[in-house]
Amino acid sequence: MSLDAIAARGMVLLGCGRMGSALLAGWLAQGVRPETVHVIDPAPSDWVQAQGVVLNGALPDSPAVAVLAVKPQMMGEALPQMLGFTGGDTLFLSIAAGTSLARFEAVFGADSPIIRAMPNTPAAVGRGVSALIGNAQAGAAHLALAEALMAAVGATVRLEDESQMDAVTALSGSGPAYVFHLIEAMAAAGVAEGLPEDLAMQLARATVIGAGELAHQSPETAETLRVNVTSPGGTTAAGLSELMDAGTGLPPLMRRTLAAAAARSRELAQ
């Protein structure tokens, strides 16, 4: 099953907020015809309304895929609209955090192919990463279709077990916020060292963007890239001696950060 299946049978997008809109933009850029996309959203943006998709109209009888892009707290109200697609002909692809495959199976039935995906907000600029896991009914063709859809906004990875999704949520799902806060903290530290606030923020943002792009393009590991920029006894080494401290530095802080986020993900899934 590939994107060709959408051309033949159409698809449904339930919810078109920020992430749904990012996905829709990626699909259209990949050549998915707008008239094959059926969007259900009570308050579509002006952008969505201008894309030529079928908006809040009649749905196809058996779409290739129904993408569930509403917030977890809205699932109970929204999912009944999808009950006509159960039975195995339609793939259900959810991007809702904290909603397990078992919960979807309770609604759609265990005979429906269901895949969970956890994208992150850089999907808005085509640089996201999505982790995917399917239920027993989701075969190779279903996973290939889901990967093709999520690849429209960035990279994809497959998980071995659904239990890994909480760690994914903590790392890559919530991770962009950690990086944004790193920018804030670096800028604030620059101000404390005497830089004007606007200049410190400009330097911090550009540094994180540049380092991220270097990490993206380089075949070397992050550790090697760090070592390459660290001269023995130099300024970077002095800074890293604080940042890499085993008791008070970034490693233990990041472990606590991810542990807290993963624990909250598990709580929300209950």
Task: Look up the CATH number of the domain holding residue 241.
Answer: 1.10.3730.10
Q: What is the CATH classification number for the domain harbouring 71?
A: 3.40.50.720
Q: Do 140 and 214 fall within a single domain?
A: no
Residue 227 lies in a domain: yes
Q: Among residues 118, 144, 122, 120, which one has the least CA distance to residue 132? A: 118
Q: For 145-233, list the strands marked E by DSSP.
A: 154-158
Q: Do 217 and 238 fall within a single domain?
A: yes
* Beta carbons of 12 and 89 less than 8 angstroms apart: no
Residues forming a β-bridge with 91: 65
- Write down which residue in 123, 141, 162 finishes a domain: 162
Range of the domain at 148: 4-162
Q: Tens-of-pLDDT digits for all 270 residues of the chain?
A: 567 778 889 999 999 999 999 999 999 999 999 999 999 999 999 999 999 999 999 999 999 999 999 987 788 888 888 998 988 789 999 998 888 999 999 999 999 999 999 999 999 999 999 999 999 999 999 999 999 999 999 999 999 999 999 999 999 999 999 999 999 999 999 999 999 999 999 999 999 999 999 999 999 999 999 999 999 999 999 999 999 999 999 999 999 999 999 999 888 877
Which tokens go with 242? 């604080």
- Write down which residue in 162, 193, 214 finishes a domain: 162
Count of domains for the chain: 2
Residue 169 lies in a domain: no
> CB count, 10 Å around CB of 63?
24
Q: What is the pLDDT of residue 1?
A: 55
Residue 113 lies in a domain: yes
Write the CA distances from 246 to 123, 209, 231, 254, 266, integer angstroms. 33, 26, 21, 11, 27
Q: Do 71 and 144 fall within a single domain?
A: yes
Q: Do 134 and 181 fall within a single domain?
A: no
Residue 108 lies in a domain: yes
Q: Do 148 and 197 fall within a single domain?
A: no
Residue 179 lies in a domain: yes
Q: Do 240 and 261 fall within a single domain?
A: yes
- Write down which residue in 162, 187, 219 finishes a domain: 162
